[in-house]
Amino acid sequence: IYKWHYSGLNRWHGAGSTADFQKIIQERCDTYTQTIRPGSRSRNCQAIRQAFMSAFISKDPCKATKEDYNSLINLAPPTVPCGQQVFWSKTKELAHEYAKRRRLMTLEDTLLGYLADGLSWCGEPGSSDLNIWSCPDWRKDCRTNYVSVFWEVLSERFAESACNTVRVVLNGSLENAFDSMSIFGRVEAPNLRPQVELEAWLVHDTGKPPSDSCSGSSIRKLKSILDGRNVKFRCMDNLR
Ligand code: APR
C-alpha cells in the first residue's frame, strides 16, 4: 500500500485521463472530417490519433514540452480563414455561442481543438497505457503537464495565424476582464502579428452591475501589450 500510494498511479491531484480517450479522439476526428468540415483537406484520423498518443504515452506526465506536440500539430495546424477568429477568456460558453451565430471560429472549431475539448490525458513512464486514476494538476503538481502544454502550444499557433480583424470575448462581470496570466493574456495576445486588429467584446452578466469596463485598468493593460506589437485595438462594452 505504501509503495502504491507514493509511486503509484494515484499520486497526482488532478482527474485521471478521460475514459475511452483514444476512442473519443478517433470518433470526434471522424465526425469532424466527415460531417462538420467535410470540405476541409482530408485528414488521416488514424495518423492523428497515433500522433496524439505518441506525444505523451510512456512519458513523465510533468515533463511536457511544446516539441512533444510538433508532429501532431503539423498533421492539423489550427488555422482558420482570415478575419474569422474568436478568442475567449472566462467566457467559454458565451464565446462559442457568439462565434456560431456570426459564423466565426474559436480554437475548438479547429480539428485539434475540437478533438481535445474538455478531455483529460496523461501517461506514465514505463507503461503504454493512459493513467486513468489521476493526472497532474496545474497548481498542485506541475504546470508543464500534457494538457496545459497542449492548450498553450495550440493557442500559440492559433494566435500566430490570425489576420485582419479578430475578436476576443471577455467577462466584464469579473474584477479584471483581462487576465494577463490566462492563456489569452500570456499566449494569444502577445503572439498576434503586427497589423492585426483585435476587437474586444466585454460581456456583462445581466442583473449584476458591471465590474470592469473598456476604460478599466485591466483593458488598459491589454492595450499596452498590443501597442507594443503594433496590433490595433478596439473595445466594446456591454455587448449583451
Ligand atoms: N477544453 C478544456 N480545457 C481548456 C480548453 C478546452 N477547450 N481551452 C482551454 N482550456 C484550459 C486551458 O488550460 C485554459 O487556461 O482551460 C483554461 C481556461 O481558462 P480561462 O481563464 O477561461 O481562459 P484562458 O486561459 O484565456 O484560455 C482560453 O485560450 O485555448 C485558448 O483560444 C482559446 O482564447 C481561448 C483561450
- Which tens digits make up the pLDDT trace of 152-192? 999 999 999 999 999 999 999 999 999 999 999 999 999 99
d(CA 131, CA 59): 11
Residues 6+ apart with CB under 8 A from 158: 78, 79, 80, 85, 107, 110, 113, 188
Q: With 70 as the cut, is the pLDDT of residue 2 above it? A: no
206 CA distance to ligand 1 middle (Å): 23
pLDDT at position 38 is 85
**Is residue 43 within 8 Å of 145, Cβ to Cβ?**
no
Number of other residues whose CB lies within 10 A of the CB of residue 2: 7
d(CA 204, CA 102): 19
Three-class SS of residue 135? Answer: strand
Phi, psi dihedral angles at 20 (to 5 degrees): 60, 35
Q: Whose CA is nearest to atom 5 of ligand 1?
A: 117
How many Å from the N-terminal Cα to the C-terminal Cα in the chain? 55
Model confidence band, residue 4 (pLDDT cutoffs 50, 70, 90): low
Model confidence band, residue 43 (pLDDT cutoffs 50, 70, 90): confident
Three-class SS of residue 146? Answer: helix
d(CA 115, CA 225): 31
Average pLDDT rounded to a whole number, residues 214-228: 96
Beta strand segments in the chain, E: 14-15, 86-89, 134-135, 165-171, 197-203, 232-237
Helical (H) or strand (E) element with 52: helix 45-56
Task: Look at the block and give the residue holding cell 494566435.
Answer: 159
217 CA distance to ligand 1 middle (Å): 22
Q: Which of 79, 151, 186 to mutate to test the pocket of ligand 1 (most atoms within 8 A of CB)?
A: 151
**Is residue 124 within 8 Å of 43, Cβ to Cβ?**
no
Phi, psi dihedral angles at 183 (to 5 degrees): -65, -40
Three-class SS of residue 182? Answer: coil
d(CA 223, CA 57): 40
The binding-site residues of ligand 1, defined as CB within 6 angstroms of any ligand atom, are 87-90, 92, 107-108, 117-118, 148, 151, 155, 158, 182-184, 188
Q: With 80 as the cut, is the pLDDT of residue 85 above it? A: yes
pLDDT at position 3 is 52
Handedness of CA 194, 195, 196, 202 (dihedral sign): positive
Lowest mean pLDDT among 4-18, 181-195, 202-216: 4-18
Three-class SS of residue 97? Answer: helix
pLDDT at position 205 is 84
Phi, psi dihedral angles at 30 (to 5 degrees): -65, -45
Q: With 70 as the cut, is the pLDDT of residue 125 above it? A: yes
Q: With 90 as the cut, is the pLDDT of residue 20 above it? A: yes
179 CA distance to ligand 1 middle (Å): 12
Measured from the CA of 87, which atom of ligand 1 is nearest?
Answer: 34
pLDDT averaged over the chain?
Answer: 94
Residues known to be catalytic: 82, 163
pTM: 0.94
110 CA distance to ligand 1 middle (Å): 14
**Residues of the chain with pLDDT > 90: what percent?**
88
Model confidence band, residue 8 (pLDDT cutoffs 50, 70, 90): confident
